[in-house]
Amino acid sequence: MYYFKGEKTTLTRQKLVCKLENQANQLRQDSLKMIYRAGKGHPGGAFSATEIVTALYFSVMKIEPAKPKWPERDRFILSKGHACPVWYAALARRGFFELSHLDTLRQTHSILQGHPVMTKTPGVDINTGSLGNGLSLGLGMALASRNNGFKYNVYVILGDGEIQEGMVWEAAMAAGHFRPANLFAVVDYNGLQNDGFVKDILGLEPLVDKWRAFGWNVKEIDGHNMNEILNGFEWLQKVGGPAVIIAHTVKGKGVSFMENIVEWHGKTPTKEEFELAMEELIVGGGNG
Amino acid sequence: MKAITLRQVFGETLLELAEIKKDIVVLDADISKSTFSCLFHQKYKDRAYNLGIAEQNMLGVAAGMASTGIPVFATTYAVFASMRALEQIRTFICYPQLNVKVVASHGGLQVSSDGVSHQGTEDLAIMRSLPNMTVLHPADPVSTRELVFAAAGYDGPMYIRLLRNEVPVIYKKDVSFTIGQGNIVKDSKQAQCTIVATGLMVEKSLRASEILEKEGIDVRVLDIHTIKPLDQDLIISSAKKTGVVVTVEDHNIIGGLGGAVAEILGREYPVPIEMVGINDTFGESGDPEELFTNYQMNIEHIVAAVKNSIARR
């Protein structure tokens, strides 16, 4: 038995995967429109995280969009906060707020800030944007469930570049020590950061060994293969936290001319590029 | 009550509070024996986490915990809280107004022999500049206990500056303390100057006032235990009454109590202000009293500053 949009569904695994793929495509289109309208944003990292965010918000996480502050909700932390357009799109599509807000990204008085802010956006559990902080914030939430009596899981999405921040490893070490069973991380390993390829700027390898050495359970997946993503999240539940999925992804995934091109980290498409990208996304929109 | 360290008072008060407020969680970064939160750790193991020598992570964890509704006390030293973990306090605690009390021992030159790396001499200025932050700096053991109780009843970000070494008691037990309201600890109808002091400098200011009194100069002395929000009404009315003001703090004269008082009086009621504090420099190792003398922050310097301020009237 699987969940789709908070409801138990009789869909087969194959059908569920298909529906989630379509959903991911819609979120990509939403994100692209948002960034194009805002005239600023980070398409590359939003697209690399799209399938992961989709799986969590449309199948895996225990959330109630009508009650964004429900104390027992699963927590989601987008530590790579600049990828927030895809998250905002997921929150809107799940009903945390009206879709019309998506048109206001980064504008004055918008509930959708350039980087996530918990006091402005329903469904955002904590601020992020300054890189390297999310795992500590998630660790705090995860440990808190030992004291506040609420049962929930915490999912932290880390960028690959951001784990160059030392604080991530402070948190990783503390999680290895306190062993919160409800703390799960996903590294969106798209291989690019602002200035270039991660391997050229400050390489992370051997990344699996690093997490293992800090006492974490580790699994590698293809971060765009929905079936592998669902398997990954099932694995997390099985092994328990602290556990991390290293998701191999492609920056700019879904738009041919953005894929694996460093400039699309924080570039806004021109009108022509926007139309071309939308066309590609609509054509490549799955068949579920 | 004999002279005792404010950090020890804090630790003992936290233990008292733990009985009443059963939801408090305490976080530490390997100096709980120094901040005396070890007392809480020993008794309430399941409500305390020692996160090791990793202050940024500790304040991040504090924010995450507080986001679920838990009141958090996180302890470290002033230098590490206000500088190493500043961004975590700013963006993840102050901005979303989370209920985290950052308890920072080792403020000022009074830290003494550990030297500059452990002397928090800019922390008040830094913390005061953060929106949504409340900044406390108690003067003595009695007020520390009362203000820690008051802090526990306040829902929001707060920085509480404590001191390494012993300080004398200046308050009787029945005095009341309110966050945001300064206390008049000495007054006279003929007061010619207001000494606005904070922390252990309140006691030094009282002793300076006795010397001045013998010379025929009466002063009003304020204990500004809340650096932010500043008790503007009391400071303005005191400036109106006495005409000149001397600020006294164990902190850089830039941006701390002196800066805060100058900002409000500059806007509302400009009067001559003299500032006693660390004169925009770093400290060094040494006996606290020797340091205060060498850095021109001791009783005789407060006396001189009062006379200078009156001469500028």
Of B23, B60, B87, the CB nearest to A140: B60
The domain that contains B88 carries what CATH number?
3.40.50.970
B43 neighbors B15 (Cβ within 8 angstroms):
yes
Q: B46 and B84 share a domain?
A: yes
Q: What is the ipTM of this complex?
A: 0.96
Q: What string of pLDDT tens digits covers the 288 residues of chain A?
A: 799 999 999 999 999 999 999 999 999 999 999 999 999 999 999 999 999 999 999 999 999 999 999 999 999 999 999 999 999 999 999 999 999 999 999 999 999 999 999 999 999 999 999 999 999 999 999 999 999 999 999 999 999 999 999 999 999 999 999 999 999 999 999 999 999 999 999 999 999 999 999 999 999 999 999 999 999 999 999 999 999 999 999 999 999 999 999 999 999 999 999 999 999 999 876 544
**How many domains are there within chain B?**
2
Q: B117 and B235 share a domain?
A: no
Tell if the CB–CB gap between B57 and A146 is shorter than 8 Å: no
Do the domain assignments include residue B39?
yes
pLDDT surpassing 50 at residue B162: yes
B23 touches chain A (CB under 8 A): yes
Using a CB–CB cut-off of 8 Å, the residues of A that contact B are 71, 117-119, 125-127, 129-130, 133, 135-148, 150, 166-167, 170-171, 173-174, 177-178
Q: B242 and B148 share a domain?
A: no
What share of chain B in percent tops pLDDT 90? 98
How confident is the model at residue B125, as a pLDDT?
98
Name the helix (H) or strand (E) containing A218: strand A217-222
Residues 6+ apart with CB under 8 A from A191: A160, A197, A198, A199, A251, A260
The domain that contains B236 carries what CATH number?
3.40.50.920
CA distance A283 to chain B (A): 41
Between CA A202 and CA A214, with CA A208 as vertex, the angle to 5 degrees is 95
Q: B17 and B159 share a domain?
A: yes
A198 neighbors A161 (Cβ within 8 angstroms):
yes
Q: Which of B55, B122, B146, B203 is catalytic?
A: B55
pLDDT, average across residues B278-283: 98
How confident is the model at residue B1, as a pLDDT?
62
Structural domains of chain A, with CATH: 2-283 (3.40.50.970)
Range of the domain at B228: 183-311
How confident is the model at residue B138, as a pLDDT?
98
Of B49, B63, B95, the CB nearest to A143: B49
Q: Which residues pair with A78 in a beta bridge?
A: A157
CB pairs under 8 A between A and B: 104
Q: B145 and B207 share a domain?
A: no
In the predicted model, what is the mean pLDDT of chain B? 97
HSE, CB side, 13 Å, CA atoms: give it for residue A231: 13
